[in-house]
Amino acid sequence: MAFSTLPKIGMGTFRLKGNDARDAVKSALSLGYRHIDTAQMYENESEVGDGITSSGIPRREIFLTTKIWYDQLRRSDLINSLHDSLARLKTDHVDLTLIHWPSPDDEVPMEEYLGALRDAQREGLTTHIGISNFTCAQMDQAKAILGETPIFTNQVEVHPFFANRKVVGHAQKLGITVTGYMPLAVGKVMEDETLIRIGREHNASPAQIAIAWIASRGVVPIPSSTRPQHQKANLDALDIPLSAEEIAGIDKLDRGERIANPDFAPAWD
């Protein structure tokens, strides 16, 4: 089956290694996840591939994303690194390949690496292409470079303490789906009074409320968890109906708390 849109939630694998990664992917797929997100930089593509092959779920039913690290953005490097990723993932293609970060200080021109990514798509190495951690201006530039070729997503940090409104709004205006990483703010949502209170109303955890709020904005959350009960709870969170009042209460939690902010990051919006 060809996916024309991103599944509504994904299983993130950042920081998962070895058997933890294998087991988490297999468990997520058995619970009903169909979107698995990894990256070259996570150094777990082999284990993610093992989890997928051992799950018994046909590959064509799984939406698999990987990301090209910023030291592989030259044209030949990008294609070669993607071939390496596919070998580790034990598949002949991924469903989505993202540029993990825009080239630091534009060392590699965007035309070069987005052109290479489009070549990879034409070669059938990846079904869809997209970007991650791109600013509003960089999204405009990417769209101008790619023209008719759709940008499937911009994957950026989104959680109740960092709504990332400007980037989310601009992407959606451009017709680019936003994928939200770190949706649970590395566990900080569990201690928030507002999320705890709203959770009580719905017989749900603060984590589930955070995921429901992200989904209510049309953003695809990709929470990471190794525990099947948490994975299931994250999946079930998509069915929690938040009232306008509850959403407004969560909106107020935004304090611009960016967690992923490496020294090579672009000049953020």
Active site residues: 42
What distance in Å separates the CA atoms of residue 155 and residue 134, rounded to the nearest whole number? 8
DSSP-based three-state secondary structure for 12? strand
Per-residue pLDDT of the chain (269 residues; tens, 9 = 90+): 578 899 999 999 999 999 999 999 999 999 999 999 999 999 999 999 999 999 999 999 999 999 999 999 999 999 999 999 999 999 999 999 999 999 999 999 999 999 999 999 999 999 999 999 999 999 999 999 999 999 999 999 999 999 999 999 999 999 999 999 999 999 999 999 999 999 999 999 999 999 999 999 999 999 999 999 999 999 999 999 999 999 999 999 999 999 999 999 999 99
Nearest to 83 by CA among 116, 37, 50, 108: 116
Q: What pLDDT was estimated at residue 1?
A: 59
The percent helix, strand, coil of the chain (3-state, each to 5) is: 50, 15, 35
Q: Is 83 annotated as a binding residue?
A: no
Where do the domains of the chain lie, and which CATH numbers do they carry?
11-183 (3.20.20.100)
CB 133 within 8 A of CB 98: no
What distance in Å separates the CA atoms of residue 64 and residue 94, rounded to the nearest whole number? 5
pTM: 0.97
Q: What pLDDT was estimated at residue 144?
A: 98
What distance in Å separates the CA atoms of residue 18 and residue 48, rounded to the nearest whole number? 9
